[in-house]
Structures are given as C-alpha cells and as structure tokens.
Amino acid sequence: MANKWVIGARPRTLPAAIAPVLVATAFAGKDWQIAPALIALLVSLSLQIGVNYANDYSDGIRGTDDSRVGPVRLTASKLASAQSVKRAAFISFAIAAIAGLVLALQTSWWLIAVGALAIAAAWGYTGGANPYGYKGLGEISVFLFFGIVATVGSYFVQTENLNLEIFIVAIPMGSLACAILAINNLRDRAQDELVGKRTMAVRLGDKGARVLYISLLISAHLFALLTFRPFALLTLLALPVTYSLAKSVSGGASGTALIPSLAKTGKLQLIFAALFALGLAL
C-alpha cells in the first residue's frame, strides 16, 4: 500500500488546486512572476490537502465513513489516529496561512481576510457543529474558493490588477473543481443519504445529480469560449474526454463504477487547464 499520508491527501483531487494557478499565470501574460505564482500554488495545494485531511477527520469521528464506497479513509479505517489526521490538516492549513501571509505582505493586506475565509471554509465543510457540506452547500464553496478565489487571487498576486475578464476566466476552473466534488458525491450518494449527509447529490436525487455533473462540464467549455479569445478554442480538444465522462455518468454508472470517472475528471481539469492556459498565452 502507498504511504498512508499520500492516500489521505487524495492526489486525485489535487488538479483542482493546480489548474486555477496555471490558468491565472497564463492569463497574466508578460506580467507573470515566478515567485508569486509558485507561492500561490503552494497556498492552493496546501488548502486542498488540508481540506482533504479535515474531511477525513471530521467524517471519521462522526461515523460517516464507516461504510466507504470510495478510496480508504485514514480515520475510519484506523490507519491513523483521529488526532494525527486532525494535526495533519492543521499543519497543511498553517503552511497555506504562512505562504498566504507572504503574498499579502507583497501585495495587499486584504489577502489575509480572504485566506482566513478560505481556511474557515475548508474546516467548516465537514467540521464543526454545523458542517455546511452536510447541507448541500459544498459545490458552492468549491466553486467560490477553488474556482473564483484561486484563479483571481493567483492573477492578482502576480499583476496587482483585477478586471472583469479574469472573473470569466475563473468560471471554467470553478465548474471543473465542482465537477470533481459532484461526481464524488454522486458516487457516495446512497451511503450519504443513509447517514444523514445531505449533500447536493442527495438533495437533487440520482437523476438531478447526474444532470448537475454534466452541466458543470458543459459550462466549463462554454465560459472558456466566452472569453472571446480565438485560441481558447483549443479547449475543444478536451471534448472527447468530456464526452466520455458525460456518457458514462448519463449511462447510469454508480458506486464503485464511478471511481475511474472521478480520477478521469481530475485529469480532464488538468488537460482543460493546460489547453486553456496555452490559448490564453497565445
């Protein structure tokens, strides 16, 4: 078995952290800066890993993960103690906070407030007395923090500038990050419903959850084209992957049969981001 902490970090979800920084850096064009870009990437990756450990801990102590459909969880499987998983989450958040503070010192103190909100959202997804992930609000948070904030923030720390177009550029990143969570929740829908975890997939039902996932994939392509940059058409090269995912999900794949689609959705985000970044750079 691979290192348990690597498993707990859930590498298949990390494209959601890499893609927005890549696209924002490409959009910055001649104004891009390597040091702020790399620090922004560290913030994004640390937050993603931190929220993964935090979810593992919180779901584990609640018993939500006792009957897992997907990959093994550290707390529920007792591969690691609950306190050590919690500690790993806090260490990841601390790294994100320190790196974010460096960026704030170089650009704007407002980034401290944004970073604090991001860490609070990461913990509050399944942690605390009233986790919003149990109320079907996870996709909204992912769209906001791993889409809009990650992309716009990565652009701002390199250029110290904001404009309408970067917000449009951020939407495909938010849609694809949401798609990763949406297919994860679709996979776990039946079990989550049994334990009272009212994710968006549970609230929408099986059919609605599938429509949501496919809609997120389509919206990524549409908003990339709405940047009206001719080379953004390069993102259409990812359509075969998008189509195969949509076909699998619309065909009724469920439970463990969706595990390959989750990994493939992460790969789609990286492929899409690379093509989008190339299109923006050109």
- At 1, the pLDDT band (50, 70, 90 cuts) reads very low
Domain range summary for the chain, segments of one domain joined by + = 4-281
What confidence tens digit (pLDDT) does each residue in 120-164 have? 999 999 888 888 988 999 999 999 999 999 999 999 999 999 999
Length of the chain: 282
Q: Which of 282, 225, 266, 274 is nearest to 23 (CA)?
A: 274
The CATH architecture to which 4-281 belongs is Orthogonal Bundle (1.10)
What confidence tens digit (pLDDT) does each residue in 74-127 have? 888 888 899 999 999 999 999 999 999 999 999 999 999 999 999 999 999 988
The Cβ of residue 277 has, within 10 Å, a number of other Cβ atoms equal to: 21
- At 22, the pLDDT band (50, 70, 90 cuts) reads very high
Written as one letter, the residue type at 19 is A
Give pTM, 2 decimals. 0.93
Q: Which of 92, 199, 90 is nearest to 140 (CA)?
A: 199
How far, in Å, CA of 269 to CA of 262, rounded?
Answer: 11
HSE-up (13 A, CA, CB side) for residue 277: 20
* Six token digits for residue 14: 């990390």
